[in-house]
Amino acid sequence: MNPIKVGLLGIGTVGSGTYNVLKRNQEEIRRRAGRGIEIAVVADLNTELARELTGGEVEVVADANEVVNRPDIDIVVELIGGYGVARELVLKAIRNGKHVVTANKALLAVYGNEIFEAAREKGVIVAFEAAVAGGIPIIKALREGLTANRIQWIAGIINGTTNFILSEMRDKGLDFDTVLKEAQRLGYAEADPTFDIEGVDAAHKVTLMSSIAFGMPVQFDKAHVEGITRLSAVDIKYAEELGYRIKLLGLTRRREDGIELRVHPTLVPASRLIANVEGAMNAVLVQGDAVGATLYYGKGAGAEPTASAVIADLVDVTRLHTADPEHRVPHLAFQPDELSSVPVLPIDEVTSSYYLRMRVSDETGVLADITRILADAGISIDAMLQKESREGEPQTDIIMLSHLCREKQVNAAITKIEALPTVLSAVTRLRMEELN
Ligand code: HSE
């Protein structure tokens, strides 16, 4: 059988990784897919570099429209990124009856509903394993491997840049700005790291996982997104003293009244496997009612790890493109007419435990006032740490860990605590998840 023909849009890091792995493993991949997979054309504005990377073996064009309009191309691999031109090209490819493989989490988290609907109308596949956690086959696991389960929650370290920064802050006791500069110097953080450090990239990824886990349309606009830019080294240190590590988690959880969808720095017990995922690695923990907890770990970025996911999708499409669309795995794991309208809960309604740190005057009754406010708000204290005050400085840090409560309860209590004359600082509030 003739090879299936692929048009590659963008030959940067992931594109060149895809080209190289496909070439290196072509025989193994052909034996798995049932036919060869051939990159027939590459579109990249830098045609010279594209020719160099492909050794002159593949046709190179500057205009990606040429690729999505070519009748001989069966699958378009979109590796341009962003929501602008990538969205137009993906929709055009779909309208032209082509299957699409993409690593573009931003595009799917924001425009996924439109794109999946367009693909359904045309009977084509949009595959996106590489969009979440790079080389870890988490989309496959959620859509297929765990399909028997009522999924209860997912917690993921799904941004390598921030995990690297947090690991360095903890190991070296350095503050965020210092470590960010070092990460940029070493190439772990981009020159403009905004999407990573502000939690946006992780929110794109958890939005996609949430939709697949719970069978609901993608709703990035409802996700609560907090990054790590305001995290201080002292909280990492105090968390450690209390037996916790701070990780930027993408979390989504089924509650009785809706779905939680959130990204924020989170205290996780140091004894959990996921708390020990260090450096730029990714990990996703999924709790299903039948299987219990399953953990997926690996490289979340990089040329060949991400290519591994792109090529897995290419093989899937090669095997399935002649199948009746009704018999394929639905884009969001649930049949499109079975998607649920369950609401995404506002952050005020989220249930969590909390870490509270405050600076107080070291005098009689301070603790009693604070614990009274918490008790009146129905918040139960789980643990407490009081640092010794320094000689001649009658002030101290108090750190409290709460049991589960609603976020609005804790926010109301914090407002009252901050109004106490003996509380000398704003209260630092971090969320804490036991993940058991
Ligand atoms: N920038 C991402 C990360 C990889 O740091 O994990 C691509 O999503």
CB-based contact 208:250 (threshold 8 Å): no
Question: What are 253's strand-pairing partners?
Answer: 153, 260
CB-based contact 287:153 (threshold 8 Å)? yes
Q: What confidence score (pLDDT) does residue 140 get?
A: 98
Size of the chain in residues: 436
Residue 187's pLDDT is: 87
Q: What is the pLDDT, as a whole number, of residue 391?
A: 78
The backbone region for 157, taken as left when phi is positive above 0, alpha when psi lies in -120 to 50, beta otherwise, is beta
Q: How far is the CA of 398 from the centre of ligand 1 (A)?
A: 35
Cβ pair 193, 230 in contact under 8 A: no
Q: Which of 161, 163, 282, 310 to mutate to test the pocket of ligand 1 (most atoms within 8 A of CB)?
A: 161
Q: Considering only CA atoms, which residue is closest to atom 4 of ligand 1?
A: 301
Q: How confident is the model at residue 390, as a pLDDT?
A: 80
Q: Can you give the pTM of this predicted structure?
A: 0.97
Pairing mode, if any, of strands 351-361 and 405-406? antiparallel
Q: Could you say which of 181, 205, 299, 408 is catalytic?
A: 205
Cβ < 6 A, ligand 1 pocket: 159-161, 196, 201, 300-301
List of the chain residues with pLDDT < 70: none
Residue 316 near residue 111 (C-beta atoms within 8 A): no
Residue 122 a catalytic site member: no
For 347-356, the pLDDT digits (tens) are 999 999 999 9
For ligand 1, mutation pick of 196, 200, 306 (most atoms within 8 Å of CB): 196
Domains in the chain, ordered, with CATH?
Answer: 4-135+303-327 (3.40.50.720), 139-299 (3.30.360.10), 351-432 (3.30.70.260)
Phi, psi of 245 (to 5 degrees): -115, 150
